């Protein structure tokens, strides 16, 4: 008897379809999202394997070889300092992905924390947090980022911090609105009836059910953050020479755009592709995680 | 030991209506207005009334899932309403709730095992192995199988989910269960199964029920005593048989006459109430039912009738029975 029971348990375990697993199945069937994944995995791979992919150094050039067109030696040509553009694009992937991931993770952590507080406790806490978010959102975000970097001093780290700060309200509001609707759910009332503490309700019931929109917005947010980092770099407020950040490369090479277009095309193309990749994944995730899309 | 498990005295829940830019309070919705009753150990107390009459608010206020505006709730010798949030927690083991909507009351991201184990975790009961065993036992008790534990709520039917909801309420071995319209979201064929289950459980676990419903035939089937609510107030309270045989309050009479009779030859007079349920933000003066009452007298418009015993454990709030 006992044996039979354990068998059925094992069998039913295989059939279990958890909400996350279901979403993954939907995502795998989405061609655009799969392409997005491939693009991003490709960029992650070259970022991680940069030293093995290229023999050149990103910050050392041969001045006699400056602005050379693409060739077998220099796949993407060389820039105005005679540095290998391919090498710089490859190392640039490290910087852009780093900024993209970590600024978004920072925004999500801080935004989620304040969003949970505002949504769950309401009253004056909500009032205070929401008004601060409103004020931050009232500024054009890149202007706010410029202001923050101007205060902290231009560097890639500070650009990351600035991008992280300006995006906090996006996640904060998102989480707050989710919490507002979720805390009225009956399973949350049930949790309170059981005698559960607020913190456990927040982290066991409300947060897990808010994760789907956070993940979607976060994925799309990585794309935005990469563009913002590139913009700050382009304005000279992000990465500093000789860091091979893509936006900075665009800014430095823009005066040679006619003489040596490859110095601009390849970093620009890289920005475009990574942003496209994250957007494709984000859209796919939205479709996969949206409960209304379930059949 | 006290015969009464739960005593509710003058329970009130008013919701403020705010208006204007500054959110000034411009009025109150009297969702529950001065409700007094008590529930005896082991009985099923039915609470009926139409939508908006305050029956769910009453049920949730006495568990303090909604903070009552005023009034006292005594549970097993302790005053629930005066306890602090932390002091309330141990008491939660003894009073549980079953919800109306079995789709909304289970977290869609948790497996049944997780849902049922959670009450035990929260109160630090047992080792993980013991908890798992108890979950499996409880699933069998409510008529499911132990292998259902690994499944998610969406893989069950409405009736099965309601069984899970009942199982969750039972995990802590409560004394009182507030059943907030536990069968009204279910198909009629499933309703009786769940009701029978609840009756079996009551016998086996010595439970006391506060059974909230709007379906009078369901309440009659399960209740020992029944309270009728109208516009936030109790208008009549009597042992089940007595209430159904000899309703006193005109509202109860109208309510009972609306219950469909399965015999088509049985012609009865139906009392059709005129008008709508008045707004609880602006209840009528005197007896709140006078606007729709076929027997309304002058006194009903000015003086609120007292809720009082008119003999034989039968309470009502109506001027018709004053002398």
Q: Say yes or no to pLDDT of A17 above 80.
A: no
User: Which residues in chain A are closer than 8 Å to B107, comparing Cβ atoms?
Assistant: 187, 205, 209
Name the superfamily (CATH) of residues A85-293.
MetI-like (1.10.3720.10)
User: Which residues in chain A are closer than 8 Å to B165, comparing Cβ atoms?
Assistant: 190
Can you tell me whether residue A49 is helix, strand or coil?
Answer: coil
The CA distance from B118 to B124, in Å, is 10
Question: Which residue in chain A has the smallest CA separation from B97?
Answer: A193
User: Which residues in chain A are closer than 8 Å to B119, comparing Cβ atoms?
Assistant: 194-195
Name, of A162-176, B64-78, B304-318, the range with top average pLDDT: A162-176
pLDDT at A131: 94
> Which own/partner pairs from A129-137 qualify as long-range (CB within 8 Å, at least 24 positions apart)?
A129/A172, A129/A176, A130/A173, A130/A176, A132/A169, A133/A168, A133/A169, A133/A172, A133/A173, A134/A169, A136/A166, A136/A168, A136/A169, A137/A169
Q: Between chains, do A208 and B168 touch, taking CB under 8 Å as contact?
A: no
Contact (Cβ atoms closer than 8 angstroms) between residue A85 and residue A74:
yes
Q: Between chains, do B152 and A5 touch, taking CB under 8 Å as contact?
A: no
User: Which residues in chain B are closer than 8 Å to A205, comparing Cβ atoms?
Assistant: 107
Q: What residues make up the domain containing B127?
A: 4-321
Question: Which residue in chain A has the smallest CA separation from B147?
Answer: A9
Q: Say yes or no to pLDDT of A295 above 50.
A: no
pLDDT tens by residue, B173-216 = 898 999 998 888 888 888 888 888 999 999 998 899 999 988 88
The pair of three-digit structure tokens given for residue B112, joined into one six-digit string: 């049944």
The pair of three-digit structure tokens given for residue B218, joined into one six-digit string: 């369901």
Higher pLDDT, B118 or A77: B118
pLDDT tens by residue, B246-259 = 888 888 888 888 77
What average pLDDT does the segment B130-152 reach? 88
The pair of three-digit structure tokens given for residue B216, joined into one six-digit string: 């009078």
- Enumerate the domain spans of chain A: 85-293
Contact (Cβ atoms closer than 8 angstroms) between residue B111 and residue B150:
yes
Lowest mean pLDDT among A81-95, A181-195, B272-286: B272-286
Helix H or strand E segment including A41: helix A31-48
| Domain count within chain B | 1
Q: Say yes or no to pLDDT of A65 above 60.
A: yes
Q: Between chains, do B119 and A8 touch, taking CB under 8 Å as contact?
A: no
**Where residue B281 sits, what CATH number does that domain have?**
3.40.50.300
Question: Which residue in chain B has the smallest CA separation from A200?
Answer: B122
Residues whose CB falls within 8 Å of the CB of residue A12, separated by 6 or more in sequence, listed in order: B147, B148, B150, B151
Asked if the C-beta of B93 comes within 8 angstroms of chain A's C-beta atoms, the answer is yes
Sign of CA dihedral B198, B202, B207, B211: positive
Instruction: Give percent of chain A above pLDDT 90.
Output: 28
Q: Say yes or no to pLDDT of A8 above 70.
A: no
pLDDT at A6: 44
User: Which residues in chain A are closer than 8 Å to B92, comparing Cβ atoms?
Assistant: 193-195
Asked if the C-beta of A295 comes within 8 angstroms of chain B's C-beta atoms, the answer is no
Asked if the C-beta of A69 comes within 8 angstroms of chain B's C-beta atoms, the answer is no
Q: Between chains, do A5 and B146 touch, taking CB under 8 Å as contact?
A: yes
Q: Between chains, do A19 and B109 touch, taking CB under 8 Å as contact?
A: yes
The pair of three-digit structure tokens given for residue B301, joined into one six-digit string: 């418009």
What average pLDDT does the segment B56-76 reach? 88
pLDDT tens by residue, A33-64 = 899 999 999 999 998 888 888 888 877 777 78
Our CA-based measurement puts residue B313 at a distance from the nearest CA of chain A, in whole angstroms, of 32
Q: Between chains, do B122 and A194 touch, taking CB under 8 Å as contact?
A: yes
State ipTM. Answer: 0.83
Asked if the C-beta of B123 comes within 8 angstroms of chain A's C-beta atoms, the answer is yes
């Amino acid at each position: 008897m006992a044996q039979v029971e354990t068998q059925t348990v094992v069998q039913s375990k295989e059939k279990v379809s958890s909400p996350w697993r279901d979403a993954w199945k939907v995502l795998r069937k989405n061609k655009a999202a799969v392409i997005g994944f491939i693009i991003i995995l490709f960029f992650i791979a070259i970022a991680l394997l940069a030293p093995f992919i290229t023999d050149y150094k990103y910050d050392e050039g041969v001045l006699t070889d400056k602005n050379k067109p693409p060739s077998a030696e220099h796949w993407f040509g060389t820039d105005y300092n005679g540095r290998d553009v391919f090498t710089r694009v490859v190392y640039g992937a490290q910087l852009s992905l780093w900024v993209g991931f970590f600024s978004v993770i920072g925004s999500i952590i801080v935004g989620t924390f304040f969003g949970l507080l505002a949504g769950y406790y309401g009253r004056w806490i909500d009032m205070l947090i929401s008004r601060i978010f409103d004020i931050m959102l009232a500024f054009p975000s890149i202007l706010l980022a410029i202001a923050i970097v101007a205060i902290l001093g231009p560097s890639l780290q500070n650009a990351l911090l600035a991008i992280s700060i300006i995006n906090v309200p996006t996640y904060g509001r998102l989480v707050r609105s989710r919490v507002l609707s979720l805390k009225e759910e009956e399973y949350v009332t049930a949790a309170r009836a059981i005698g559960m503490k607020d913190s456990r309700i927040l982290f066991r019931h409300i947060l897990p059910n808010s994760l789907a929109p956070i993940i979607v917005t976060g994925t799309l947010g990585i794309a935005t953050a990469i563009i913002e980092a590139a913009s700050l770099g382009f304005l000279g407020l992000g990465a500093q020479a000789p860091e091979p950040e893509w936006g900075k490369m665009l800014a430095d090479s823009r005066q040679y755009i006619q003489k040596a277009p490859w110095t601009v095309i390849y970093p620009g193309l890289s920005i475009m592709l990574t942003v496209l990749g994250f957007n494709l994944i984000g859209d796919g995730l939205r479709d996969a995680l949206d409960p209304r899309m379930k059949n | 030991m006290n015969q009464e498990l739960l005593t509710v005295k003058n329970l009130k829940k008013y919701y403020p209506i705010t208006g204007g830019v500054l959110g000034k309070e411009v009025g109150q919705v009297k969702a529950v207005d001065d409700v007094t009753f008590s529930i005896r150990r082991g009985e099923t107390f039915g609470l009926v009334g139409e939508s908006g009459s305050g029956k769910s608010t009453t049920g949730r206020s006495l568990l303090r899932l909604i903070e009552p505006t005023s009034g006292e709730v005594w549970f097993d010798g302790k005053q629930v309403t005066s306890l602090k949030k932390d002091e309330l927690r141990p008491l939660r083991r003894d009073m549980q709730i079953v919800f109306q909507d079995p789709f909304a009351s289970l977290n869609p991201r948790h497996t049944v095992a997780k849902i049922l184990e959670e009450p035990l975790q929260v109160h630090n009961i047992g080792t993980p192995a013991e908890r798992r065993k108890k979950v499996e036992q409880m699933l069998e008790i409510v008529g499911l199988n132990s292998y259902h534990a690994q499944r998610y709520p969406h893989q069950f039917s409405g009736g099965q989910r309601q069984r899970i909801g009942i199982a969750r309420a039972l995990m802590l071995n409560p004394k009182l269960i507030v059943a907030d319209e536990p069968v009204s979201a279910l198909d009629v064929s499933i309703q009786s199964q769940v009701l029978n289950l609840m009756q079996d459980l009551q016998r086996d676990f010595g439970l006391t029920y506060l059974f909230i419903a709007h379906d009078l035939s369901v309440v009659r089937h399960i209740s020992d005593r029944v309270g009728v609510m109208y516009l936030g107030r109790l208008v009549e309270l009597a042992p089940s048989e007595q209430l159904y045989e000899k309703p006193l309050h005109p509202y109860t009479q109208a309510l009972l006459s609306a219950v469909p009779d399965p015999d088509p030859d049985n012609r009865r007079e139906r009392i059709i109430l005129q008008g709508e349920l008045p707004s609880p933000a602006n209840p009528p003066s005197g007896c709140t039912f006078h606007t729709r009452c076929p027997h309304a007298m002058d006194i009903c418009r000015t003086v609120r009738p007292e809720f009082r015993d008119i003999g034989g454990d039968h309470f009502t709030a109506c001027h018709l029975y004053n002398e």
